[in-house]
């Protein structure tokens, strides 16, 4: 706009009129706003309409839902981890209570000059390999190992913690294949002369190596728990939080999340066994109540750190990868289906693996839990406790051991029955839902996971249902009755 004192040229006036017709009249400068007017506008004026529209946008609702999923993930995770923990406990108690009885029965049959089956041979060889590993652990002086670890620098202890954890995972993954090899070699009668002895030697070496790794993990935990300056304990707790860095910022698919959840199940159970062994060692060395209280406080801190790290890790994995927490229910259904198939005879005896056909064989195999090295470590620690009772000349030492073993035997029986009943109930109830569409998955690759893992679970659940019905007298609805449920009478639906 030209100044008022300067006349416009006709060409300039024409151009200005054309510009005004095209864009409208030009706005003048904004009115001046004082500081008090600005403050009053900020305090008294309500929410702008644009802000309200943004709050009602789809992205805002998605963010709010993401917050709710973040808070819900620990609850859904705990239900899965508790089930996996009980499966690990059932497998561990089987090896500790049932397997010695089966080997004793096999020895009685051998004394009666009766031929042993391939399963009894595998039981005997597993017990022999456990005995070799326990004898190898007996050669390690606990006090010397404790002071050798305690005398290291803090940075060396940090490296030792990580190296032992890595070796534990490597041995566990390789041990599954080794134990399966021994199982199949004992089943194949043609290889009893050569391959069976070679596989037994490999299993014995593996158990010795893996048991030594677990032993030094327990020693490191014992040093951290009994440290007076809490530096080692802080190092151990902070080492758990390093796990967040290695998992949270990675891309996870549902199958990777299932593997991570199984790893957390095994880690929790192993940590429980480690802490019990440390508490037993402290009980045999220190009788002071103050020392025991400090040790129990340190054990509680380590356990709380483990729970907190698992919750934070899975919550952020769910948030960053756009997966709903209901995916843990699908994992829960997978483990329940394996348990139900073991009870209903869905798995053949030749497919049970090296877990000697306990009720949780298929589930523990899917989780990847190998309890035999842990059994070696526990047997060695219990033997040390028995020797301490003998030194104190306690007349009830062996009676206490026998009573504890009997209680564990009863716990194993009750736990197996409870897991079998719960798994069958969940599987029979989840068979229709497993065949339905499954929300909570992110993309097509997640849908392929559903078709591969959980679609097979639906088939397994529907195949398990008739077997359970034939064994327990249950009336299970067929697929046709599920589709035509609307035309079924209420009494028939109640019976189904």
* Torsion on CA atoms 460, 466, 468, 470, rounded to nearest 10: -150
Residue-level pLDDT at 455: 42
Residue-level pLDDT at 356: 41
- The encoded tokens of residue 70 equal 């973040």
H or E stretch covering 458 = helix 455-472
| pLDDT mean for each 10 residues of the chain (496 residues) | 48 51 56 77 61 62 83 91 93 90 88 81 88 91 84 76 86 84 73 72 92 91 75 71 78 87 91 88 72 77 86 89 89 90 58 51 86 91 79 69 89 90 82 47 42 42 37 34 39 45
Length reported for the chain: 496
DSSP helix/strand/coil, 185: helix
Neighbours of 65 (CB within 10 A): 11
Residue-level pLDDT at 492: 42
Report how far residue 448's alpha carbon sits from residue 445's, in angstroms, rounded to the nearest whole number. Answer: 5
Residue-level pLDDT at 345: 57
Residue-level pLDDT at 441: 41
Whether 349 contacts 97, CB under 8 Å: no
The pTM (predicted TM-score) of the whole model is 0.74
Residue-level pLDDT at 190: 55
Contacts of 130 by beta carbon, 8 Å cutoff, 6+ apart: 207, 372, 375, 376, 379
């Amino acid at each position: 706009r030209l100044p008022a004192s300067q006349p416009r040229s006709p060409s300039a006036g024409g151009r200005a009129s054309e510009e005004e017709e095209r864009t409208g009249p030009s706005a003048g400068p904004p009115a001046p706003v004082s500081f008090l007017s600005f403050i009053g506008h900020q305090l008294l004026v309500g929410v702008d309409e644009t802000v309200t529209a943004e709050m009602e946008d789809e992205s805002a609702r998605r963010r709010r839902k993401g917050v709710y999923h973040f808070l819900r993930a620990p609850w859904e995770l705990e239900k899965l981890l508790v089930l996996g923990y009980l499966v690990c406990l059932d497998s561990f108690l089987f090896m500790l209570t049932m397997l010695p009885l089966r080997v004793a029965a096999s020895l009685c049959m051998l004394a009666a000059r009766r031929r042993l089956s391939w399963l009894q041979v595998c039981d005997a060889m597993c017990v022999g390999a456990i005995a070799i590993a326990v004898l190898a652990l007996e050669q390690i002086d606990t006090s010397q190992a404790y002071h050798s670890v305690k005398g290291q620098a803090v940075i060396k202890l940090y490296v030792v913690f990580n190296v032992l954890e890595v070796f534990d995972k490597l041995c566990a993954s390789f041990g599954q294949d080794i134990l399966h090899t021994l199982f199949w070699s004992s089943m194949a009668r043609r290889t009893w002369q050569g391959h069976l002895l070679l596989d037994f030697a490999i299993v014995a070496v593996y158990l010795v190596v893996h048991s030594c790794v677990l032993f030094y993990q327990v020693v490191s935990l014992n040093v951290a728990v009994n440290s007076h300056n809490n530096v080692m304990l802080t190092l151990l707790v902070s080492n758990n939080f390093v796990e967040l860095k290695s998992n949270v910022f990675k891309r996870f698919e549902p199958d990777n999340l299932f593997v991570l959840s199984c790893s957390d199940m095994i880690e929790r159970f192993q940590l429980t066994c480690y802490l019990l062994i440390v508490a037993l060692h402290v009980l045999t060395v220190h009788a002071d109540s103050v020392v025991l209280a400090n040790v129990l406080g340190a054990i509680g801190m380590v356990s709380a750190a483990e729970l907190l790290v698992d919750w934070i890790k899975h919550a952020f994995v769910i948030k960053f990868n756009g997966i709903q927490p209901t995916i843990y229910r699908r994992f829960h259904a997978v483990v329940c289906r394996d348990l139900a198939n073991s009870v209903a005879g869905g798995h053949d005896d030749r497919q049970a693996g090296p877990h000697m056909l306990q009720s949780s064989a298929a589930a523990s195999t899917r989780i990847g839990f190998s309890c035999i090295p842990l059994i070696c470590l526990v047997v060695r620690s219990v033997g040390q406790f028995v020797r301490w009772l003998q030194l104190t000349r306690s007349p009830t030492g062996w009676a206490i051991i026998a009573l504890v073993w009997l209680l564990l035997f009863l716990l194993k029986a009750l736990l197996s029955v409870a897991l079998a009943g719960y798994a069958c109930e969940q599987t029979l109830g989840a068979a229709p839902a497993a065949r339905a569409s499954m929300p909570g998955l992110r993309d097509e690759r997640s849908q392929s996971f559903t078709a591969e893992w959980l679609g097979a679970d639906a088939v397994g659940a529907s195949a398990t249902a008739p077997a359970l019905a034939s064994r327990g007298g249950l009336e299970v609805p067929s697929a046709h009755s599920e589709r035509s449920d609307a035309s079924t009478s209420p009494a028939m639906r109640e019976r189904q």
